[in-house]
Structure 1
Amino acid sequence: MTIDRVSEILEKLVAFQTISSASNLDLVDWVQTLLTQAGFSVARLPSACGAKAGLLARFGGGAGGVLLSAHTDVVPVEGQAWSRDPFKLARLDDRLYGRGATDMKGFVACVLAHGESLRAHAPDRPVMIALSFDEEVGCRGIPQMIDRIIPFLGRPDLCIVGEPTLMRPAIGHKGKASYHAVCRGTPGHSAMAPKFQNALHLAADLIMALRAEQARLIADGARDGDCEPPFSTVHAGIMQGGKALNIVPDRADVDFEIRHLAAERPADILENIRAGLPDGIEIIETGAYPGLDTDPKDPALRPVMDVLAAPLKLAFGTEAGFFSRLGIPTIVCGPGTMDDGHQPDESIAIDQLVACLGFLKRVTSS
């Protein structure tokens, strides 16, 4: 298990163009073969559409163990000013460049390289791997897999989700729920505008309700000083409506989200938003993932806390809350920083991959 092998694996992973809008099956095929040859028991979990798949793998017998979790999809490169081929790994000085190098194929490469070494240095406890799909579009893949985790892998003592944290253990982040609102009015000539229901006016009412709820959350909502910002947030990202200036619009659409602290439920926040709205607005949930709030004093985290820096909480969301909901003590910890993720010329420092390899060796052997 060397950094050269990690680089070889990462080069292969980056070459698979697993943008969320595309299939990841070629990558899954390759990883399945690698893990099977390394002595893992492997289960392939097709997506509902059949164009993608997740993967579960286990090495070793007995109870407990460590589960290493990652997603296989990456964000698009269109519209970004890359100075090199984003799907061909390149090394410059002490960094490796390529789409997904940081988020989060660098971690996957470390996990696979470590997995190949287990036959020669068998761990005392099982080592498990979960690779998902469609994380970058709202954690839509892991809900299709989560019910198979424990039946196939067993119940691990600890789950590590390898999103980039500069190898610091993250014990919490906000949950998120996203919504699409359809505001329905009645069309008519703008010369008689007051006689008709203007869908854009309904959308404006919704926007004002979102702003009012945000003000309430800032003033009276729950607080977590380890999060930034330290309160739940409400955000409208897209509003569309209207076809011509002289026609009263009969439809407007608004997409918005709630990012909530562990102490608050998005359903309660949404109810506050709905309370003052007029008729004619339909709100549909389009996606959600739970937050993470792990007790840093949980004994299961001791192997992690003994070798890493002080824990932190993240501003971005991950799949970790799904594993936590199963009762598995879960942290987020991986190489690189999200400051480099999703960017043109995405890259990761080689010393971060070295640190990740050493961490995996320690945490799976303790």
Structure 2
Amino acid sequence: MDAMHRTEGLLGQLIAYPTVSADSNRGLIDWAADHLTHLGARCEVMQDDTGTKANLWATFGPEEDGGLVLSGHSDVVPAEEPNWTSDPFTMVERDDNLYGRGSCDMKGFIACVMAMAPEFAGWELKKPIHIALTYDEEVGCYGARDLVAALTQKGVRPAMALLGEPTLMRVIDGHKGCCEYTTHFHGREGHASAPDKGVNAASYATRYASKLLSLEAELRGRAPADSPFDPPWSTINIGRITAGAARNVIASQAEIEWEMRPVTPRDTVQVLAEIDRYGAELLAEMQARDPAANVLREVIGEVAGLVPEDRNRMAEIACALTGANGCDVVSFGTEAGLFQSLGTQCVVCGPGSIEQAHRADEFVARSELAACLDMLAGVQRYMV
């Protein structure tokens, strides 16, 4: 059976595991660990505190520093869109495209890596090839953060990492960070006819949201002149505001879910310092009326961006293998910045289009999988 047929079969198996971030990924991880162990890989399943989630770290080749990581996240977003034309967790082929939740984001890449594993096992590797499968990328890159911490503790530092997020096989060496927060407002309920007897959490949340919008406008005005991103500035988005019980009740609770995608770490520091200072001002006003009032900014996830490097061996290899004339950047976030924090040189390059991710009838084209397999096969010349 050739690599393409293996890939299609493996992709069907991977899609059949409904690894939505809110649920366990252990079925997929345990299956992958068993599959790779039988091929001769040294596998470690690293579970989280609950035991329901786990990362997989598998290694072919010598036990030494350096080498290459092929990394993908195992979790997918929910398949709750009403306009799916087939079962999201059963792979379907139409017009040379393979449909199913996670087919492009990013089980297509994982299937390619798993299909190439017998080849990795047969190569006389001078440096290790690691396969990393992580959990909860879609909700904050929690698995990758735990994996990087574990590798740091073990003293393992791979030289290069290839993350197979869907880029239509373009080589990406830079992307913005992604910082996600929920700010909670706790006031005091009361009847709307006596507003001075309550502390209106909705009103204070509205003022906080206005401050975020003013900060977003400031970020637009200080985009780096050489920023390669589109848009070139750091962005702030208010995604969801919830508050109150009824129009004639003073809202005792409110929440703002918001995110920032920084171009530079400096923007992150400045925005958080300013919004926390403003939050403290609001809190002082609220507690002057009720000492039990509170404002709390909860960190959902803070994922570093991938910073382009002048000398990046992984980028050179990926461009040589794909025929790319150079690297590009994207505005969506990945786990690459976490690997970069180890001193690992990283790129993002994988099959499928990000435009197909997180939508009904998600698919990956067979031609994209074939291109990915060609890239992975070419890794041999740099590792043996």
Structure 2 length-normalised TM:
0.90
Spell out, residue by residue over 1:128-150, the C-alpha distance to the aligned partner (whole angstroms, 9 max, x if none): 11100111112122112212235
Q: Which amino acid aligns with 1:58?
A: T
3-state SS of 1:108 partner: helix
Question: Counterpart in 1 of 2:36?
Answer: 35
> Once structures 1 and 2 are overlaid, which stretch shifts more, 343-352 or 279-288?
279-288
Equivalent residue, structure 1, for 2:282: 278
Q: 2:216, 2:236 within 8 Å by CA — same for their partners in 1?
A: yes
1:202 is aligned to: 204
Pick from 137, 140, 159 the counterpart of residue 138 of structure 1.
140
8 Å contact 2:187–2:200 — kept in the other structure? yes
Instruction: Specify the SS of the correspondent of 2:321.
Output: coil
Tell me the equivalent position of 1:107: 109
Code of the residue aligned with 1:295 in structure 2: it is E
Name the amino acid aligned to 1:335: P
- What is the RMSD of the two structures over their aligned residues, measured on CA atoms? 1.9
Aligned partner of 1:188 among 187, 190, 209:
190
Query: Counterparts of 2:152 and 2:282 in 1: how far apart (Å)?
Result: 45
Tell me how far 1:48 sits from its aligned partner: 1.7
Preserved CA contact (<8 Å) 2:180 2:301: yes
Match of 1:148 in 2: 150
3-state SS of paired residue (1:135) = coil
| TM-fit CA distance, 1:298 | 2.4
Of the structure 1 ranges 79-88 and 104-113, higher mean CA displacement relative to structure 2 is found in 79-88
Contact kept, 8 Å, 1:65 with 1:128, in 2: the verdict is: yes
1:161 Cα offset (Å)? 0.7
**Structure 1 residues 224 and 261, CA, compared in 2 at 3 Å: closer, same or farther?**
farther
Distance 1:285 1:226 in 2: 27
String of CA shifts for 1:61-118, please: whole Å, max 9, x gaps: 1542211010001111113311111111121121111111100000001101111122
Gaps of 5+ in 1: none
In the alignment, which residue of structure 2 is the partner of 1:330? Answer: 346
User: Structure 1 CA distance, aligned partners of 2:331 and 2:95?
Assistant: 30
When structure 1 is superposed on structure 2, of 154-163 and 319-328 the one drifting more is 154-163
**Whole-angstrom CA distance in 1 between matches of 2:189 and 2:360:** 44
CA distance in 1, matches of 2:78, 2:129: 32
Alignment of 1:63-102 (within 5 A): 63-102=65-104
| Separation of aligned partners in 1, 2:224 and 2:186 | 34
Question: Equivalent residue of 2:58, what SS?
Answer: strand
1:122-181, Cα deviation, whole Å (9 max, x unpaired): 334221111001111121221122122356694322101110111111111111222221
1:170 to 151, 169, 172: 172
Matched residue, 2:332: 316
| Contact 1:173/1:292 (<8 A) preserved | yes
Within 1, Cα distance between the matches of 2:38 and 2:157?
A: 24
Instruction: Report the Cα offset of residue 119 of structure 1.
Output: 3.1
Q: Which has the higher helix share?
A: 2
Instruction: Classify the secondary structure of the residue corresponding to 1:234.
Output: strand
Give identity over the alignment, percent.
35
Q: 1:268 aligns with which of 263, 270, 283?
A: 270
Question: Do the aligned residues in 2 keep the contact of 1:86 with 1:99 (CA within 8 Å)?
Answer: yes
Give the Cα separation in 2 of the matches to 1:146 and 1:182: 30
The TM-score, its normalising length taken from structure 1, stands at: 0.94
Aligned length, in residue pairs: 366
Whole-angstrom distance in 2 between the partners of 1:275 and 1:121: 57
The alignment status of 1:8 with 2:12, answered yes or no, reads no
Counterpart residue identity of residue 23, structure 2:
A
